[in-house]
Amino acid sequence: MKRFTVVLPETRSITLEARGRADEALRVVRWAGALILVLVVGLVGVKAEVALEDLWRVRLPSVVALEFAVDTELGRQTVQTFGTVIDEKGTVIFPAQTINARLALNQLKDFRFYRPGDSEHSLPATYLGHDEFTGWEFARVTNPADAAGLTPITTFGQAPAPAIAQQLWGIGLRKKDEGFAPYFLSERVAIVQSLPRPTALVAREVTGTGLPVFDLQGRFVGLGVSGFGQAKLQFSARDRGGLPIVLIDPDECAAVLLASEIVPYLNRVPTNQAGRPMVWLGAAGLQPLEPAVADYLGLKGRSALVVGDVLENSPAAAAGLMARDVLVALDGAPLPAIKPDRMLVNFVQQEVDRRLPGEVMRLGVLRDGQARTITATLTDAPSLPREMPRRYFETLGVTVRGFAYVDGAARQVPVANHGGVIVNFLQLGRPAALAGLHSDDWIRSINGRPVADFAAAVAALAEFEE
């Protein structure tokens, strides 16, 4: 029997016994080589962890801080948020909740981008509009040359869906008074769910809201989304039982919309600031089917939604959909099993939003126990409140806007009775507020005279103000 001494990288040796046969000696050499390979891979792994800071720095140009002004009745206000670069033109997406839905498009002014860590030099930008399906707002550098210093998120490749306990990392940005300083965040995946779009929830904040998340190889995993705050109890001397509250950090988030739900839709750049075309179906008040009702209808174990209402003059109404119809399929495919059940409503809405006016949507429903298919041709949605004309009357301290279709739908008013104006803003201490007006009040007459539309209301208010 012969002995072989193998010297390992850690300057130590081990002695192996062999029986003199060439094949056994070869196995020993292979074993030693494999052991060395493991050690080398381990050393490379250590280097990869050290290189994480380099990955982070290379990916910083894919994010920007965004600032814009809002011209309100009380003066100009500044809004700050963060965004992710999506193409070579310097187009940036940022969260929809950044822009108040009550604002008119002409109130948004002076968009600017800032690179991470530089709050002194800005890049003039242009607001492009809103996309209803993705929920993103879009803006782009005004000067094409400024796009050279920005890196699209697609440059880094798309990572597969993350696994439970997988380590992810992301980028955070401080606000302007801290120089938009970038910082590193990292956490492991807790669970991946369909909400209804595939979303990874991590143990704690992993990125800034609307900013990218990466894996340890630096590949793009997804974008941070807000709205997943931690529920806690607040105790006080007056309420010893505990008052439930929700804490949401607006600048960081622990939920990640996966890249598979982002990359395919980066081309949905609006062609106008209003985000038109914007399709609608008109099936309102959708609710998950109660288990007992599902059993009665023979739908046990299947996903279904009950139609609460069908809006007047909508594609759903024109197609013959009715309240209390049970929706079980879209375009021939059963509704997916999504938990919690209420997320099915979001799924149906997204299936509508991803389409264009003129496209056909086939709805599989149960009515009076009978299955039938209803074919609806989608159309452009009625004008939204932000698209309606408005005017501020400074002496009265009130802004009124035109009456939108959704105003009538919310009040369950027939289209034939739509008219008048809606109170969009009230200034405290001014005559309108002192007289008892409230935001969202529906003004139908002024000084006893009916106002049929926005023009009539403006004429009456202007006369009164003079």
List, for residues 288-310, the tens digit of each pLDDT value.
Answer: 988 888 888 888 889 999 999 99
- Model pLDDT for residues 137-189, shown as the tens digit of each residue: 999 999 999 999 999 999 999 999 999 999 999 999 999 999 999 999 999 99
Environment class of 28 (CB within 10 Å of its CB; exposed 0-12, middle 13-18, buried 19+): middle
Nearest to 372 by CA among 321, 336, 408, 422: 321
% pLDDT > 70, the chain: 84
Residue 290 DSSP one-character state = P
Task: Write down the pTM of the prediction.
Answer: 0.82
Question: Rounded to an integer, what distance in angstroms lies between the CA atom of residue 198 and that of residue 347?
Answer: 11
Check pLDDT > 70 for residue 13: no
Q: How is residue 105 annotated by DSSP?
A: G
Mean pLDDT of the chain: 87
Structure-token pair, residue 289: 């089917």
**CA–CA gap between residue 228 and residue 204 (Å, rounded):** 10
What pLDDT does 405 receive? 96
**Which pLDDT band, with edges at 50, 70 and 90, does 406 fall under?**
very high
Of the candidates 141, 139, 207, 221, which has an alpha carbon nearest to the alpha carbon of residue 173?
A: 207
Q: Would you state the structure tokens that stand for residue 118, as one six-digit string?
A: 């530089």
User: Is the model more confident about 341 or about 35?
Assistant: 341
Instruction: Please state which of the ranges 75-79, 163-167, 251-255, 376-380 shows the lowest mean pLDDT.
Output: 251-255
The single-letter code of the amino acid at 148 is A
Asked if the model's pLDDT at residue 219 lies above 50, the reply is yes
Q: What is the pLDDT of residue 341?
A: 82
Evaluated on CA atoms 93, 97, 100, 101, the torsion sign reads positive
Mean pLDDT within 264-270: 96
CA distance 131 to 265: 10
Give the count of alpha carbons within 13 A of 236, CB side only: 6
Reported as a pLDDT band with limits 50, 70 and 90, residue 338 is confident
Polymer length in residues for the chain:
466
Local confidence band at 336 (pLDDT 50, 70, 90 cut-offs)? very high
Instruction: Check pLDDT > 70 for residue 16.
Output: no
Pick from 189, 222, 193, 217: which is nearest to 203 by CA? 189
Judge whether 365 and 372 are in contact, CB under 8 Å. Answer: yes
Q: Using 50, 70 and 90 to split pLDDT, how confident is the model at 465?
A: confident
The string of pLDDT tens digits covering residues 38-92 is 344 444 444 444 489 999 999 999 999 999 999 999 999 999 999 999 999 999 9
Of 61, 149, 93, 66, nearest in space to 269 by CA? 93
Rounded CA-CA distance 457/443 in Å is 8
Nearest to 443 by CA among 423, 461, 464, 463: 423
Amino acid at site 210? G
> 3-state DSSP call for residue 426?
strand
Check pLDDT > 80 for residue 37. no
Q: Distances from the Cα of 448 to the Cαs of 68, 359, 439, in angstroms?
A: 42, 46, 21
d(CA 89, CA 406): 36
Q: Is the pLDDT of residue 210 over 70?
A: yes
Q: CA 190, 346, 387, 444 torsion: positive or negative?
A: negative
Percent of the chain with pLDDT over 90: 75
Beta bridge partners of 188: 167
